[in-house]
Amino acid sequence: MLVHTGWAHWYLTAEPGPRAAVRAERRATGFVQSRDFVAWCWDHRIALLATDTFAVEVLAGPAS
């Protein structure tokens, strides 16, 4: 399964300030890491999962 989020396009066309903030905070869109998600992939026979982000899993920013 290939998931197109638009994140890569945004990142490549964003101004340097917002790009630097995302890089510094190591944030990214993605899928929650859970057994439910893994079970859903198994049940739907998903053998491969890829996205247009630098990680498939969600990367939340640092705790405030």
Burial of 62 (0-12, 13-18, 19+ CB in 10 A): exposed
pLDDT, tens only, 6-63: 888 988 899 999 988 888 887 777 888 889 999 999 999 999 998 888 778 776 666 5
The pLDDT value given to residue 61: 60
User: What ranges make up the beta strands (E) of the chain?
Assistant: 2-3, 50-51
